[in-house]
Amino acid sequence: MTDMGSILLFLGVVAALGLYFLMTILVTFVDHFPMPRAMNFTNDRLSRCHHSYTKNKNRTNRKRKDLQTMKTELEVNTLKSFQTELTRFFLAYKFALQEVETKINILQEEFKLIHEYNPIEHVSTRVKSPKSILTKMMKKELPPSIEAVRENIRDIAGARITCSFVEDIYKVSAMLQAQHDMEVVEVKDYIANPKENGYQSLHLIIKIPIFMSDHMEKVYTEIQIRTIAMDFWASLEHKIYYKYNKEVPEHIRHELKEAALQAAELDRKIERLNKEINILKENEAEPSLLDSTPIAHLAKYLTELPGNQIIDDTLFKK
């Protein structure tokens, strides 16, 4: 019985040692030889899926980056195009005012030389600021487009002519309206029909042609013609109301209107005195023939020109 137990124990030890050596051999085999394809299939597929996912993700990122670049370039080009259009928009009004100023300057020079009298005391021009244009757009409920502004806001370019007397206003207006290259769109006579607050002036809404490098354009321009007294009242009235958005008290409006009526009365009185002086001049003895000739005035005018030089007539003698 004891011998049988010893034999079984011996066999168990041998079996354990055999199993140990078998496991050692299997581990060594796995380390030195690749696994069969069937066993590596799952790992290969996972690797390929990961590679494909990474590739698609990179491609998507590149597309997004390209789209973002295209969007940025489009925005830049759109902004440049709008900037060019806006620059042309304001340049047109600037050039229109230069055309108007040239016409007025010609009239002034002609009156000084031929008529010995200049009805124009002062000329000023301005182009409305973008803020003023935007305020008027909202007031008129215009769509936000340059074309809508161009057609519906006609005083972006403005010229103001200050005259000595009321009759001079209508003389200058008639001379400007007689120029064939200038289209008169509307005449607003606030002298014959003053505004409710007492404002007086003569307004001309015109279209004047300007010639750009690639096209001709007719630009709306407003010309205001008023006397010194009218301009004095209008300027001070504007200063009083400037940035005051509340309701103006009734007594202030009443006094401002009274001041406008007094300015109009002053215009009439000064104009009457001027006519009396002109009558007295006509009744005086006539001046010498030489002083009254246009040639004498022309000679005086030429000597006053900038850079004028006296020409020695001996240079023309043979």
- Of 133-147, 201-215, 239-253, where does mean pLDDT reach its minimum? 239-253
User: For a pLDDT cut of 70, what percent of the chain falls above it?
Assistant: 64
Average pLDDT of the residues of the chain:
79
pLDDT band (50, 70, 90) for residue 178: very high
Residue 63 resides in a domain: no
Active site residue 222: yes
Backbone angles phi, psi at 75, to 5 degrees: -65, -40
pLDDT number for residue 311: 45
CA distances from 240 to 105, 157, 235, 236, 253 (A): 32, 24, 9, 6, 11
Residue 299 resides in a domain: no
- Cβ atoms 152, 185 nearer than 8 A: no
What's the CATH number where 96 sits? 3.30.460.10
Higher pLDDT, 15 or 186: 186
Domain count, the chain: 1
Q: What angle do CA 225, 226, 231 make, to 5 degrees?
A: 125
pTM of the model: 0.66
Higher pLDDT, 285 or 275: 275
Q: Looking at residues 269-279, what average pLDDT do you find?
A: 88
- Asked if the model's pLDDT at residue 247 lies above 80, the reply is no
Residue 219 resides in a domain: yes
pLDDT for 19-63, tens place per residue? 666 666 655 655 555 555 544 545 566 566 656 666 666 677 776
- Of 159-168, 200-209, 250-259, 280-289, where does mean pLDDT reach its minimum? 280-289
Q: Which amino acid is at 306?
A: P
Residue 88 resides in a domain: yes
Residue 303 resides in a domain: no
If you write DSSP's letter for every residue of the chain in order, what string do you get? Answer: -HHHHHHHHHHHHHHHHHHHHHHHHHHHHHHHSPPPHHHHHHHHHHHHHHHHHHHHHHHHHHHHHHHHHHHHHHHHHHHHHHHHHHHHHHHHHHHHHHHHHHHHHHHHHHIIIIIS---EEEEEEEE--HHHHHHHHHHHT--S-HHHHHHH---SEEEEEEESSHHHHHHHHHHHHT-TTSEEEEEEETTTS--TT----EEEEEEEEEE-SS-EEEEEEEEEEEEHHHHHHHHHHHHHHTT--SPPPHHHHHHHHHHHHHHHHHHHHHHHHHHHHHHHHHHSPPPPHHHHSHHHHHHHHHHTSTT--PPPGGGG--
List the one residue out of 19, 186, 23, 178 whose CA is nearest residue 107. 178
- Asked if the model's pLDDT at residue 301 lies above 70, the reply is no
pLDDT for 79-122, tens place per residue? 677 677 888 899 999 999 999 999 999 998 888 888 778 899 99
Longest pairwise C-alpha distance within the chain:
177
How is residue 277 written in tokens? 């002086």
Residue 11 resides in a domain: no
Measured in residues, the chain has a length of: 318
Q: Looking at residues 276-285, what average pLDDT do you find?
A: 79
CA–CA separation, 176 and 168 (whole Å): 12
Is residue 103 exposed (0-12), middle (13-18) or buried (19+ Cβ within 10 Å)? middle
pLDDT band (50, 70, 90) for residue 201: very high
Q: Looking at residues 150-178, what average pLDDT do you find?
A: 94
Residue 245 resides in a domain: no
Backbone angles phi, psi at 206, to 5 degrees: -125, 165
Higher pLDDT, 297 or 132: 132
List the one residue out of 244, 259, 271 whose CA is nearest residue 199. 259
pLDDT band (50, 70, 90) for residue 310: very low
Please name the residue that has the structure tokens 């205001």: 224
Q: What angle do CA 267, 272, 278 make, to 5 degrees?
A: 125
Residue 196 resides in a domain: yes
Full residue range of the structural domain in which residue 171 is found: 75-228
Q: Looking at residues 57-70, what average pLDDT do you find?
A: 69
Looking at the DSSP bridge assignments, the partners of residue 157 are 127
Rg (C-alpha) for the chain, rounded Å, is: 47
Which residue among 222, 258, 265, 286 is the active-site one? 222
pLDDT number for residue 212: 87
